[in-house]
């Protein structure tokens, strides 16, 4: 057996490992990191809280380690990824639904032809019709199969031409439509000719090759944790959850990125506008854009961590990964100390080693990287 084969086996040799990486997403921390924190600071049967769940890395790590995950995510893209990983639908049902969408896609030919010019350069005619049909028919909010299908479509909506439905584009960030069209024209890049059902059959075969992950019953809620966390006080028992013993999260960094703008194309598939220009009006809200007002940013962190403190066990561990850059670092630290005054705060440096919010958005100072705040009871 070659070293490459052994490495792939170690990386993708179980169902949990194959499903852990579902969902390209900025600011995600590695599954190995959340696995290690959960193993060290929680026990089987306990609840792990993540109020900024993103694509659900911490919740999935908790669920496969026989803990219970409880999380909140404002962006529907991340919420879908998380729900699909925690409870993926059977492969045959997902395949059937994708074939059904393709069989009905020609009914959406006229709507697909009226899409802005960006879509004609980004996708072939057959793919455009398939995506418009999926956008119109998938009930991703309420139906488990449709949600799993939506997750697969979102994952492969754009990326490398050799490994996605689209013309060449970064997988984690949607390009601006005008810039993208100019970029493709300058390089004579045309959208790949793809038959969607056959394409996804191969993707499903790989993802399901080791079966479905065994997970505990965990929950992720779609919405703003500044509002929803305060409503959880009386519902934990009804949902079969104990008070969280571990809070593991990475809040948004100040002034770094706008997840709704960066994900505008995936949000279009979920019903949003077909352009990045109107994304802020379609998904407007106090905490949906890039944080550029330090007062609003501090209020957001204070609201979330204060509500979390009321929800947690008294002896809970608080583990927060954040940016070394100011004012994110000092603001996060002061809010945590205020929210958990009886805990001892330890700071652990995390030098930049891979793809993080910090590295992706331009902080390359000598002490670049991130910082972990670990709060424990004396």
Q: Binning pLDDT at 50, 70 and 90, where does residue 16 land?
A: very high
How far is it, in rounded angstroms, from Cα 221 to Cα 54? 11
Q: Is 16 helix (H, G, I), strand (E, B) or coil?
A: helix
Residue 280 has pLDDT above 60, yes or no: no
Spatial contact of 133 and 103, defined as CB atoms under 8 Å apart: no
Rounded CA-CA distance 337/167 in Å is: 47
Determine the Cα–Cα distance for residues 161 and 123; give it in Å rounded to an integer. 10
Which pLDDT band holds residue 352 (cuts at 50, 70, 90)?
A: low
pLDDT tens-digit map of 365-376: 445 689 999 999
Task: Express each pLDDT in 229-264 by its tens digit.
Answer: 988 877 776 677 789 999 999 999 988 766 677 889
Q: Is the pLDDT of residue 284 over 70?
A: no
* Domains of the chain, first to last: 16-76+215-256+291-376 (3.40.50.150), 91-207 (no CATH)
**pLDDT recorded at residue 112:** 98
Percent of the chain whose predicted confidence (pLDDT) is above 70 = 86
- Quick: pLDDT tens for 74-104: 999 999 999 999 999 999 999 999 999 999 9
What is the distance, to the nearest Å, from the Cα of residue 52 to the centroid of all Cα atoms in its chain? 10
Q: What is the pLDDT confidence band of residue 1, given thresholds at 50, 70 and 90? A: very low
- pLDDT at residue 295, as a whole number: 94
Q: Is the pLDDT of residue 189 over 90?
A: yes
**DSSP secondary structure letters along 54-93:** TTTHHHHHHHHTT-EEEEEESSHHHHHHHHHHHSPPPHHH
Q: Is the pLDDT of residue 283 over 50?
A: no
Report pLDDT for 353. Answer: 56
* pLDDT over 50 (residue 192): yes
- What does the pLDDT average to over 159-174? 93
pLDDT at 359 over 80: no
- Provide the 10 A C-beta neighbour count for residue 116: 14
Binning pLDDT at 50, 70 and 90, where does residue 149 land?
very high
Rounded CA gap, 218 and 205, in Å?
A: 26
What confidence score (pLDDT) does residue 287 get?
45
Q: Do 31 and 25 meet the contact criterion of CB atoms below 8 Å apart?
A: no
Q: Is the pLDDT confidence value at 278 over 60?
A: no
């Amino acid at each position: 057996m070659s070293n490459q084969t052994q490495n792939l086996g170690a990386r993708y040799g179980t169902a949990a490992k194959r499903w852990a990486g579902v969902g390209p997403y900025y600011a995600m921390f590695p599954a190995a990191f959340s696995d290690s924190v959960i193993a060290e600071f929680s026990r089987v049967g306990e609840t792990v809280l993540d109020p900024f769940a993103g694509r659900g890395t911490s919740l999935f790590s908790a669920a496969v380690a026989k803990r219970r995950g409880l999380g909140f995510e404002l962006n529907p893209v991340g919420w879908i990824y998380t729900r699909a990983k925690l409870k993926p639908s059977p492969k045959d049902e997902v395949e059937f639904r994708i074939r059904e969408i393709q069989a009905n896609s020609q009914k959406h030919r006229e709507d697909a032809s009226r899409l802005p010019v960006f879509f004609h350069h980004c996708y072939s005619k057959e793919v455009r019709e398939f995506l418009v049909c999926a956008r119109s028919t998938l009930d991703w909010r309420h139906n488990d199969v449709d949600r799993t299908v939506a997750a697969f479509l979102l994952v492969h909506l754009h990326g490398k031409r050799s490994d996605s439905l689209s013309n060449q584009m970064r997988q984690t960030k949607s390009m601006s439509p005008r810039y993208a069209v100019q970029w493709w024209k300058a390089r004579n890049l045309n959208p790949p000719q793809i038959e969607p059902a056959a394409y996804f059959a191969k993707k499903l075969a790989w993802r399901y090759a080791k079966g479905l992950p065994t997970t505990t019953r965990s929950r992720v809620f779609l919405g703003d944790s500044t509002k929803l966390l305060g409503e959880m006080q009386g519902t934990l028992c009804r949902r079969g959850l104990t008070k969280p013993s571990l809070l593991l999260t990475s809040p948004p960094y100040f002034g770094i990125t706008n997840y709704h703008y960066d994900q505008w194309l995936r949000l279009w598939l979920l019903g949003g506008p077909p352009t990045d220009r109107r994304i802020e009006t379609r998904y407007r809200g106090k905490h949906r854009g890039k944080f550029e007002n330090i007062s609003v940013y501090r209020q957001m962190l204070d609201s979330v961590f204060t509500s979390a403190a009321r929800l947690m066990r008294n002896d809970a561990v608080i583990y927060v990964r954040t940016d070394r850059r100011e004012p994110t670092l000092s603001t996060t630290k002061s809010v945590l100390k205020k929210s958990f005054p009886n805990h001892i705060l330890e700071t652990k440096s995390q030098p930049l080693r891979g793809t993080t919010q910090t590295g992706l958005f331009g902080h390359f100072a000598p002490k670049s990287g991130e910082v972990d705040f670990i709060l424990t009871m004396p």
